[in-house]
Amino acid sequence: MATFKAFRINEIDKKIVARFESLTVDDLTPGEVVVRVSHSGINYKDALAATGAGKILRKYPLVGGIDLAGVVDSTSDARFRKGDPVLVTGSDLSEQYDGGYAQYARVKAESVIHIPDGMDAFRAMAIGTAGFTAALAIHRMEHNGQLPATGPVVVTGATGGVGSLAIDMLAARGYEVLALSGKPQSAEYLKTLGAAKVLLRSAVNFGSRPLEKALFAGAIDNVGGEVLTWLTRTVDYMGNIASIGLAGSAKLETTVMPFILRGVNLLGINSSATPRELRLAVWKRIGSDLAPRHLDQIVTRIISLDELPTAFDMYLKGGVVGRTVVRIG
C-alpha cells in the first residue's frame, strides 16, 4: 500500500510534538470519502493545535489542518464520484478526525462540499474556514434583520483572515464597513478591501459605562475581551454582534443593559459544527453574492507543505495579515 507524507500532531510526555510522518490511507481516521488533497490553509486554530498553545485536539495522534481541498479519490457515498472537486472546512478536522495537512484525507461524507462552480481548489482554500466563518456571520446577521441601510458594521481583528474576508464580503453587499485594527501600517490594505474607515485600537476609548454612545449598527468580532465588551455598549438598537474569536481574550464582562434597553443581539458563530444544510447554503452564497473580490490581496503567502512547521509562530504573535494557502500536492 502506497505511503504519503502527513504533518501529524501527537502528545508525547505531556508535550505536543508535530512532525512529518509517512502514512497510508488505512492509518487515517474512518470516513466514507477519500480525497487526494491539493491545497489547505492556515488558521489561528491550526497554529494553536500544532504548537500546543491551545487545547484543540481531542485525541492523539491526528493529522493537522482544519481545511482541505482536492478531488475525490474513492467514495462509498453515492453523492460523490471519483474526480469530483471537493472541499472540507472545520467539521472536527484536526480535532477528532485527521485533517488536511497530508496528500490524502479520509473524511465523513456529511462534511464534504462540492467546490462551487467557478471556484478551484486554490481559491477554495484562499477562502477556507476564515471565509466560511465570515460568510456564516453575515448570513446569520442578515437573517436577524441586518441590512446595509441600518448603518455601519464594524469588523475587529480586521487584518486577519476572517476580518479581511468579512470586510470584502460586507462591502460587496453594500455595507459601510469600519475596520478596527492594532496595525496602523495595514490601513491602506484594509481600505483596498472595502473599509470606509480604519479605527486604530490605540485611539479607541473603550469606556466603562453600561451603555456608551451608539456607534455601529452591527459588528463582527474576532477579538473578544474588552473589545467585545465595548461592542455590546456601542452597537445601536436591534443591532447584531457576531462573536467569532478570542484573539484578545476569552472573557466578556458586560451587563444586561445593552440587551434589555437596546435589544442588541449577541450571535455566537461556530463554523466547525455548522449543520450540513446551512453549510451548503453559506457556500452557495460564497460562490455568488458573498464571493470575495480581493483574494489576490488577501492571500499574502503561498507555502509548500514542507514549509509548514515554521509558519505557525507568526499567528501566535499576531503578526499575520490576510490568508496563507498551503500547496499540498
Residue range 77-105, pLDDT digits in tens: 999 999 999 999 999 999 999 999 999 99
Residue 329: per-residue pLDDT: 81
pLDDT tens digits, one per residue of 209-263? 999 999 999 999 999 999 999 999 999 999 999 999 988 899 999 999 999 999 9
Q: What are phi and psi of 229, to 5 degrees?
A: -55, -45
- Cell numbers linked to 230: 465595548
pLDDT at 1: 66
- Say what the pLDDT of residue 262 is: 98
Spatial CB neighbours of 294, under 8 Å, sequence gap ≥ 6: 168, 192, 193, 194
pTM for the structure as a whole: 0.95
Phi, psi of 144 (to 5 degrees): -100, 20
- The confidence band for 143, taking pLDDT boundaries of 50, 70 and 90, is very high
* Residue % of the chain over a pLDDT of 70: 100
Does the pLDDT value for residue 292 go beyond 70?
A: yes
CA distance 198 to 315: 22
Residues 4-115+294-327, CATH architecture? Alpha-Beta Complex (3.90)
Q: With residue 282 as reference, give the H or E element that holds it.
A: helix 276-286
318 by Cβ neighbours in 10 Å (0-12 / 13-18 / 19+) ranks as middle
Question: Which residues pair with residue 20 across a beta bridge?
Answer: 7
Which tens digits make up the pLDDT trace of 153-210?
999 999 999 999 999 999 999 999 999 999 999 999 999 999 999 999 999 999 999 9
pLDDT at 318: 85
| Torsion-angle region of 90 (φ positive above 0: left; ψ -120 to 50: alpha; else: beta) | left
The DSSP annotation for 302-324 comes to: EEEGGGGGGSSHHHHTT---SEE
Domain residue spans in the chain? 4-115+294-327, 129-268
Band of the pLDDT at 319, cuts 50, 70, 90? confident
* pLDDT average, residue stretch 106-134: 97
Class of domain 129-268: alpha beta
Coil, strand, or helix at residue 158? coil
